[in-house]
Amino acid sequence: MTSILGISAFYHDSAAALIVDGRIVSAAQEERFTRRKHDPDFPAQAIAYCLREARLNRRIWTTWHFMKSHC
């Protein structure tokens, strides 16, 4: 099983998405959990949600990608 955790943070609308074997299995924006519109903080709660939805733990993913805007 190949799993990729994508993370976007520190600009606006921070989020996480999880892809397993080429399929998007979960995705969420951090503002959904913090109730702060356009939350730029690290998406810790969105990451936890994605892993829970896919029934994965933090030690199992094979790759993670981080995107940070340079604007």
In 3D, which of 18, 19, 40, 23 has the Cα closest to residue 31? 40
The residue annotated as part of the active site, out of 12, 38, 65, 70, is 12
For the question of residue 12 being annotated catalytic, the response is: yes
Order of strands across the sheet that contains 63-67: 23-29, 15-20, 3-8, 63-67
Q: Are 39 and 30 in contact (CB under 8 A)?
A: yes
Just list the catalytic residues: 12
